[in-house]
Amino acid sequence: MSKVTVLKFGGTSVGTIEKIKEISLYLKSRTQSDEKLIVVVSAMGKTTDSLLGQAAEITSNPDVRELDTLLAVGEQNTISLMAINLNHIGVAARSLTGMQAGIKTFGKHTKSKIADINSDFLLEQLDEFDVLVIAGFQGFNENQEITTLGRGGSDTSAVALASAIGAPCEIYTDVTGVFGTDPRLYPDAKQLRQVSYEEMLELSALGAGVLETRCVEIAKNYHVPIYIAKTLSETKGTWIMENTDLLEKKVVTGVALDKNILHVTLTCEDCSSNFVEELFNQLDEEGVNIDMISQVVFDRMINISFTCKKTDEHFLNTVINNLSNGFPTIKKHIRDNCSKVSIVGSGMRDVSGVAARAFRLLCKHNITFYQVTTSEISISYAIDEDLSEEAVRLLCSEFNI
């Protein structure tokens, strides 16, 4: 078979019919070089927000199964239009929903995860068609119900499809690549030509909005090289690859900011250790992803702090209310005006003093942090939201990001 590549185009890239036509011409030029393409697309522009708005006009708490069925409409609209145009300009193309493409999922509605992909079917389709246009962000579960993958789901779909058929993955968006931090916060931020899977994984998990964490995890686990670039631009993008393949390693690669967090502190007096076990079991059952975990135990008082996404607040409150029944002394303190600022770099393994420089810098500028956690290649601070952007700029300047 010809070379196969997976390409993904985000919502702004396919936001109008004219943009879909321009991308179609680009895809045609790729197929003329004896290349087969799997093209994963998002919903056009603000379609998903519009669909959510329609549901909100009915209820603030829609049934999640029906919400998945509604949200899947956006990507199906895009795949149909693009396949229609590709065939119109002479490219043999077929559109496929997540279910038609054999993307099997598991887990909760609106935040499902990919379990398996029918790669044999896709390869058979590529024998007949030059381009398969597949709806990102969606799949189907064991009950044959439409499911969606949550934030960044189309990126996850693309990388999972690439891993299933052993192909590279190109992700096209409205930015030229991965920067050391958001240029809107720090205009002097430099674009990275290469970044390791683990660095990108940390940056994504810690708030950088370029790629969703699950997408990078799949790429790392299955050695899928990812290229991120601006749609239909000649500007070179960023390669995400194995750490051993990097030509240059920086001590600090990037600074991430996540304003979409809650800082949660739970205190339970006269509690046994099964309080912590029960807490994490229920958080897992509700699908609440938590980060920056720290725990202090004094006699029979347990104090545990962590962060989670603001979008999980409803699920978090469900857990806390449930726990209150079995642990009546539990007290909660939730900061919703808090942000997480993180510095990331694989070079931190081999260079000492990075943490000391960061602590001195924040203290010098009177930026208080409520919690600090570290990994082998990152340091994260929970700080007041109104000081977070200043912290990003200071850290970027300090580490030449």
Q: What is the pLDDT of residues 307-347, one digit of tens each?
A: 998 989 989 999 999 888 888 888 889 999 999 999 998 87
Q: Dump the DSSP string for 17-58.
A: HHHHHHHHHHHHHHHTTTEEEEEEE--STTHHHHHHHHHHTT
**Residue 153 in this model has a pLDDT that exceeds 70:** yes
Q: What is the pLDDT of residue 202?
A: 82
Percent of the chain with pLDDT over 90: 68
Please report, for the chain, the start and end positions of each structural domain, with discontinuous segments joined by +.
3-174, 254-399
Q: In degrees rounded to 5, what are phi and psi of residue 77?
A: -60, -45
Q: What is the mean pLDDT of residues 17-36?
A: 97
Superfamily holding 254-399? VC0802-like (3.30.2130.10)
Q: What is the mean pLDDT of residues 256-262?
A: 90
Q: What is the pLDDT of residue 353?
A: 84
Greater model confidence, 105 or 324? 105
Q: What is the mean pLDDT of residues 150-178?
A: 93
Q: Are strands 331-344 and 254-268 parallel, antiparallel or unpaired?
A: antiparallel
Q: What is the pLDDT of residue 1?
A: 63
Binding-site sequence positions for substrate: 48, 75
Cα angle at 198 between 196 and 203, to 5 degrees? 95
Question: What global pTM score does this model have?
Answer: 0.80
Binding-site sequence positions for ATP: 8-11, 173-174, 184
Is 252 in contact with 273 (CB distance < 8 Å)? no
Q: What is the mean pLDDT of residues 40-60?
A: 94
pLDDT one-digit tens code per residue, 195-238:
989 888 888 776 666 788 889 999 999 999 999 999 999 999 99
Q: What is the pLDDT of residue 17?
A: 97
Q: What is the pLDDT of residue 247?
A: 57
Banded model confidence at residue 299, pLDDT cuts 50, 70, 90: confident
**Residue 33 in this model has a pLDDT that exceeds 60:** yes
Banded model confidence at residue 350, pLDDT cuts 50, 70, 90: confident
Banded model confidence at residue 242, pLDDT cuts 50, 70, 90: confident
Mean pLDDT of the chain: 91
**Residue 243 in this model has a pLDDT that exceeds 80:** no
Percent of the chain with pLDDT over 70: 97
**Residue 104 in this model has a pLDDT that exceeds 70:** yes
Banded model confidence at residue 72, pLDDT cuts 50, 70, 90: very high
Flag the least confident range among 30-44, 55-69, 174-188, 243-257.
243-257
Q: What is the mean pLDDT of residues 266-275?
A: 80
Taking the C-alpha atoms of residue 367 and residue 384, their distance in angstroms, rounded to an integer, is 8
List % helix, strand, coil for the chain (3-state, nearest 5): 40, 30, 30
**What is the residue whose two structure tokens read 């290469």?**
194
Is 74 in contact with 138 (CB distance < 8 Å)? no
Q: What is the pLDDT of residue 329?
A: 84
Greater model confidence, 305 or 349? 305
Closest-CA residue to 245 (of 197, 205, 280, 279): 197
Beta-bridge mates of residue 135:
41
Q: What is the mean pLDDT of residues 362-381?
A: 91
Q: Which amino acid is at 281?
A: N
Q: What is the pLDDT of residue 229?
A: 95
Q: What is the pLDDT of residue 248?
A: 60
Q: What is the pLDDT of residue 232?
A: 95
What is the fold of 3-174? Carbamate kinase (3.40.1160)
**Residue 378 in this model has a pLDDT that exceeds 80:** yes
Is 150 in contact with 105 (CB distance < 8 Å)? no
**What is the residue whose two structure tokens read 């709806």?**
135
Tokens found for residue 371: 């919690």
Q: What is the pLDDT of residue 47?
A: 93
Binding-site sequence positions: 8-11, 48, 75, 173-174, 184
Flag the least confident range among 145-149, 348-352, 376-380.
348-352
